[in-house]
Amino acid sequence: MSVPRQAWLSALLAALDARDVLVAGLGGNARYLPHMAPRVPHWALCDSMGAAIPLALGMALARPTRGVVALEGDGSLLMNLGCLATVGAARAANLTVLIFENGAYESSGGQALPAVTVDFVAVALAAGFRRAERLSSADELGAALAQGRSTGGPTLFALPTRFDPAETIPPYSERPDEIRANFARALRGT
Amino acid sequence: MAGADVTSREGARRIVLALEAAGVSLVPTVPDTWIGWLMEPMRASRRLRVIDVAREEEAIAIACGATLMGERAAVVIQNAGLLNSGAVIASLVQLYRVPVFLLVSYRGDVRDPVYYHAPKGRATEPTLTAWSLRFARAEPTRIAAQVAQAYAFMDETREPFVLLFSAEDLA
């Protein structure tokens, strides 16, 4: 069973701590987030496919007292699957990775991913993540994040996400200089 | 590399001191032979945290993340990995203007006797020029000044800087 992306995002935003930082990989998450007014510093990539997790890792290592949450698509993760080993080796206790699994390259027209089901939860555990599991309902996300926070990470949650080719996703609404300035301002304020 | 006493590693220690003096705290890296020599004093530093990374693009993104949080990072990779990294340099470092310092082992230049590195050596400087990246070759007697100048350049311009080093520079 898959869940609409916006339901995952709404549950995530409701569960964030005031000192968390969000990094969204390119695509639907990055396009929706600015319209959902996150209360925390957020960096939504409009390109750099596969870079969200290492970008978030750099933030997490630089500021161990802040929780950092990386939002990445399954296609983007496949482009850079080795980054899970990097995260596992770095033992970033304050990093949470959310993988939105919809089996499609949604941003480029909905082309299918390579025709194999990759178990990202198993890969993450094998790569040294402290905790990894697949959730089935947006209602589970808040408690899962809280538990991950209390036990320490790195943590990965795989989120089965509905792909609707007819869904109208808003376009990228922030430009790079704006993203950088907004991020720095929000960081100073939290 | 002919004639270089790479066993002394004085040059490697100078590079580590230069990074420390520049305020670097995080060093994401992918190894090669020369970088292995450099990492011995790097890992011994109390001020630098070395992060072992699976692929070079990740190292660059990690450095961007640290920079955005107010830390200074230095990416240490081989030029093969630099050549892999065009997309992340264009779409992250340059698009968002997040300055990153790249310390790159320059395999295949005239000082490297290993024949199979030669094509990478020939491609390196033309590629850096094509990507509009500011770069310099390391000069062992000026390495501290070069590193300091690189960070000053990055602070002023928000552009990345690449410093190419050879085994001789570690001697």
Taking every pair of Cα atoms in chain B, the longest distance, rounded to a whole number of angstroms, is 43
Does A83 sit within 8 Å of B96, measured CB to CB? no
Each residue's pLDDT tens digit, A29-52: 999 999 999 999 999 999 999 999
Site from B68, B71, B100, B101 to mutate, A interface, most A CB atoms within 10 angstroms? B68
* Alpha helix stretches (DSSP H) within B69-161: 79-84, 86-88, 118-130, 143-157
Cβ-nearest to B69 among A46, A62, A179: A62
Does B58 sit within 8 Å of A54, measured CB to CB? yes
Q: What is the mean pLDDT of each run of 10 residues along chain B (171 residues)?
A: 60 95 97 95 96 98 98 98 98 97 96 92 98 96 94 97 95 89
Sign, CA dihedral B4-B7-B12-B17, equals: negative
Residue corresponding to tokens 């809280």: A146
pLDDT value at residue B140: 85
Q: Which residue of A has its CA nearest to B96?
A: A176
Does B25 sit within 8 Å of A43, measured CB to CB? no
pLDDT value at residue B149: 97
pLDDT value at residue B2: 42
As a whole number of angstroms, the distance between CA A178 and CA A171 comes to 15
Q: Is A45 on the interface with B (CB under 8 A)?
A: yes
The predicted model scores a pTM of 0.96
Does B26 sit within 8 Å of A55, measured CB to CB? no
Sign, CA dihedral A160-A163-A168-A170, equals: positive
Cβ-nearest to A61 among B51, B55, B92: B51
Per-residue model confidence as pLDDT tens for chain A (190 residues)? 899 999 999 999 999 999 999 999 999 999 999 999 999 999 999 999 999 999 999 999 999 999 999 999 999 999 999 999 999 999 999 999 999 999 999 988 899 999 999 999 999 999 999 999 999 999 999 999 999 999 999 999 999 999 999 899 999 988 999 999 999 999 999 8
Dihedral over alpha carbons A45, A50, A54, A56 (to 10 degrees) = 30
Q: Is A69 on the interface with B (CB under 8 A)?
A: no
pLDDT value at residue B1: 44
Q: Is A123 on the interface with B (CB under 8 A)?
A: no
Q: Are B49 and B62 in contact (CB under 8 A)?
A: no
Does A180 sit within 8 Å of B68, measured CB to CB? yes
**Residue B110: CA count within 13 A, CB half-sphere:** 1
Does A184 sit within 8 Å of B67, measured CB to CB? no
pLDDT value at residue B5: 55
As a whole number of angstroms, the distance between CA B170 and CA A132 comes to 42
Does B68 sit within 8 Å of A184, measured CB to CB? yes
Does A59 sit within 8 Å of B66, measured CB to CB? yes
- Please give the structure tokens belonging to residue B76: 């240490």
Chains A, B: CB pairs < 8 Å: 104
User: Angle A162-A108-A132 (CA atoms, 0-180°, nearest 5)?
Assistant: 45
| CB neighbour list of residue B23: distance below 8 Å, 6 or more residues apart | B72, B151
Taking every pair of Cα atoms in chain A, the longest distance, rounded to a whole number of angstroms, is 45
Task: Give the burial class of B36: count Cβ atoms within 10 A of its Cβ; 0-12 exposed, 13-18 middle, 19 or more buried.
Answer: exposed
Q: Is B98 on the interface with A (CB under 8 A)?
A: yes
Judging contacts by C-beta atoms under 8 Å, the chain B residues touching residue A63 are 69
As a whole number of angstroms, the distance between CA B155 and CA B42 comes to 24
ipTM of the complex: 0.97
Q: Are A156 and A132 in contact (CB under 8 A)?
A: yes
Tell me how far CA of residue A17 lies from CA of A41, A117, A142, B43, in angstroms.
11, 33, 11, 34
Q: H or E element: which one contains A30? A: helix A28-32
Helix axes A83-90, A52-62, angle to 10 degrees: 10
Tell me how far CA of residue B165 lies from CA of A31, A59, A177, B11, in angstroms.
41, 28, 32, 10
pLDDT value at residue A190: 83
Q: Is B68 on the interface with A (CB under 8 A)?
A: yes
pLDDT value at residue B99: 97
Q: How many CB atoms lie within 10 A of CB A23?
A: 32
Measure in Å the smallest separation between the Cα of A46 and chain B Cα atoms: 9
Judging contacts by C-beta atoms under 8 Å, the chain A residues touching residue B95 are 46-48, 176
Q: Is B55 on the interface with A (CB under 8 A)?
A: yes
Q: How many CB atoms lie within 10 A of CB A47?
A: 17
User: Angle A148-A91-B76 (CA atoms, 0-180°, nearest 5)?
Assistant: 140
pLDDT value at residue B7: 62
Dihedral over alpha carbons A3, A96, A73, A180 (to 10 degrees) = 120
> Is residue A67 classed as helix, strand or coil in its secondary structure?
coil
CATH superfamily of A5-189: Thiamin diphosphate (ThDP)-binding fold, Pyr/PP domains (3.40.50.970)
